[in-house]
Chain A
Amino acid sequence: MVVTVKLFGPFATELQRSEVQVQLAGPQPTVADLRGRLAAAEPALAPLLGVSRFAVNHEFAREHRALAASDEIALIGLVSGG
Chain B
Amino acid sequence: MNIEVRIQDGPLAGGAPGAWTAGGGAAGAELCFEGVVRAEEAGQRIAALDYEVYEPMVTRELHRLAREVGEAHGVLGMRVAHSRGRVPVGQCAFRLHVTAMHRAEALRAVEVFIDRLKQDVPIWKKPVPAGAVGVPAQPVLPDSATGPRFSAPDEALRALCARLRPVESESVSLGQAVGRILASPVRADRDSPPCDVSAMDGYAVRLVDLEQPALTVAGEAAMGQAPRPLPAGQTLRVFTGAPLPPETEAVIPREQVAEEGERIALHALARSTAAGLYVRRRGENLRAGELALTAGVAITPAIVATLASFGVTQVRVVRKVRVAIINTGSEVVAPEDHPQPWQIRDSNGPGLAALLSGRGWIDAHPPARVGDDVERTRGLLAEALANSDAVLVTGAVSAGQYDFVPDVIKALGGETIFHRLPVRPGRPLLGAVGPQGQAILGLPGNPVSTLVAARRFAWVVLRHLAGMAEPLGSVPVVELGRPDDQVLPLWCFRPVRFVGAGRVELVPTRGSGDVVALGRGDGFIEVPPHLTGAGPWPFYAWES
Tell me the A residues contacting B by CB distance below 8 Å. Answer: 6, 8-10, 12-14, 43-44, 46-48, 51, 55, 58-60, 74, 76-82
Q: What would be 29 A-B contacts, judged by CB atoms less than 8 Å apart? A: A6-B54, A8-B54, A9-B126, A14-B147, A43-B162, A46-B158, A46-B162, A47-B155, A47-B158, A48-B148, A48-B159, A51-B155, A55-B54, A55-B57, A55-B122, A58-B57, A59-B57, A74-B122, A76-B122, A77-B148, A79-B118, A79-B119, A79-B121, A79-B124, A81-B118, A81-B122, A82-B35, A82-B114, A82-B117
- Say yes or no: is B300 at the interface (Cβ < 8 Å to chain A): no
Most buried by B among A8, A10, A79, A81: A81
- Say yes or no: is B341 at the interface (Cβ < 8 Å to chain A): no
Majority secondary structure of chain B interface residues (helix, strand, loop or mixed): mixed
Query: A76 — which chain B residues lie within 8 A by C-beta?
Result: 54, 122
User: 1/0 per position for B18-46, CB-CB distance to A under 8 A?
Assistant: 00000000000000000100000000000
Query: A46 — which chain B residues lie within 8 A by C-beta?
Result: 158, 162
Contact pick for A81, options B123, B147, B149, CB 8 Å: B123
Query: A9 — which chain B residues lie within 8 A by C-beta?
Result: 52, 124, 126
Query: B155 — which chain A residues lie within 8 A by C-beta?
Result: 47-48, 51
Contact pick for B146, options A13, A60, A78, A81, CB 8 Å: A13
Most buried by B among A10, A12, A48, A79: A79
- Say yes or no: is B419 at the interface (Cβ < 8 Å to chain A): no
Query: A8 — which chain B residues lie within 8 A by C-beta?
Result: 52, 54, 122, 124
Query: A60 — which chain B residues lie within 8 A by C-beta?
Result: 120
Given contacts A81-B94, A81-B124, contact A47 B35 (CB under 8 A): no
Query: A47 — which chain B residues lie within 8 A by C-beta?
Result: 155, 158-159, 162
Enumerate B128-169 residues with CB–CB distance to A below 8 Å.
142, 146-149, 151, 155, 158-159, 162-163
Contact pick for A74, options B51, B54, B94, B120, CB 8 Å: B54
- Say yes or no: is B125 at the interface (Cβ < 8 Å to chain A): yes
The 6 nearest A-B residue pairs measured at CB: A81-B123, A9-B124, A47-B158, A10-B148, A58-B57, A47-B159
Give the size of the chain B interface in residues (CB under 8 angstroms).
34
- Write the nearest CB–CB distance from A9 to chain B, whole angstroms: 3
Query: B52 — which chain A residues lie within 8 A by C-beta?
Result: 8-9, 12
Q: Which residue of B lies closest to A42 (CB)?
A: B162
A12 to B60, CA, bound (A): 22
A35 to B325, CA, bound (A): 39
Enumerate B437-479 residues with CB–CB distance to A below 8 Å.
none
Pairwise interchain contact B57-A74, C-beta atoms closer than 8 A: yes
Q: Which residue of B lies closest to A44 (CB)?
A: B162
Query: A9-B52, A13-B147, A79-B120 given. 20 additional CB < 8 A pairs?
Result: A9-B124, A12-B52, A14-B147, A44-B163, A47-B155, A47-B162, A48-B148, A51-B155, A58-B56, A60-B120, A74-B122, A78-B149, A78-B151, A79-B122, A80-B118, A80-B125, A81-B51, A81-B121, A81-B124, A82-B117
- Write the nearest CB–CB distance from A58 to chain B, whole angstroms: 4
Majority secondary structure of chain A interface residues (helix, strand, loop or mixed): mixed
Q: Which residue of A lies closest to B93 (CB)?
A: A82
A51 to B123, CA, bound (A): 16
Q: Which residue of A lies closest to B139 (CB)?
A: A16
Contact pick for A10, options B53, B93, B121, B147, CB 8 Å: B147
Query: B146 — which chain A residues lie within 8 A by C-beta?
Result: 13
Pairwise interchain contact A82-B118, C-beta atoms closer than 8 A: yes
Most buried by A among B56, B124, B125: B124
A77 to B155, CA, bound (A): 13
A53 to B162, CA, bound (A): 20
A9 to B52, CA, bound (A): 7
- Say yes or no: is B82 at the interface (Cβ < 8 Å to chain A): yes
Query: B121 — which chain A residues lie within 8 A by C-beta?
Result: 79, 81
A10 to B158, CA, bound (A): 15
Enumerate B94-136 residues with CB–CB distance to A below 8 Å.
94, 114, 117-126
Query: A6 — which chain B residues lie within 8 A by C-beta?
Result: 54
Most buried by A among B54, B56, B60, B151: B54
Pairwise interchain contact A82-B162, C-beta atoms closer than 8 A: no
A79 to B146, CA, bound (A): 14
Q: Which residue of B lies closest to A43 (CB)?
A: B162
Query: A74 — which chain B residues lie within 8 A by C-beta?
Result: 54, 57, 122
- Write the nearest CB–CB distance from B306 to chain A, whole angstroms: 31
- Write the nearest CB–CB distance from B118 to chain A, whole angstroms: 5
- Write the nearest CB–CB distance from B407 to chain A, whole angstroms: 21
Query: B82 — which chain A residues lie within 8 A by C-beta?
Result: 81-82
A58 to B53, CA, bound (A): 12
- Write the nearest CB–CB distance from A61 to chain B, whole angstroms: 12
A14 to B117, CA, bound (A): 24
Pairwise interchain contact B60-A58, C-beta atoms closer than 8 A: yes
- Write the nearest CB–CB distance from B156 to chain A, whole angstroms: 8
A80 to B52, CA, bound (A): 10
A61 to B374, CA, bound (A): 51
Q: Which residue of A lies closest to B82 (CB)?
A: A81
- Write the nearest CB–CB distance from B470 to chain A, whole angstroms: 15
- Write the nearest CB–CB distance from A19 to chain B, whole angstroms: 12
Most buried by B among A8, A60, A80, A82: A82
A14 to B415, CA, bound (A): 12
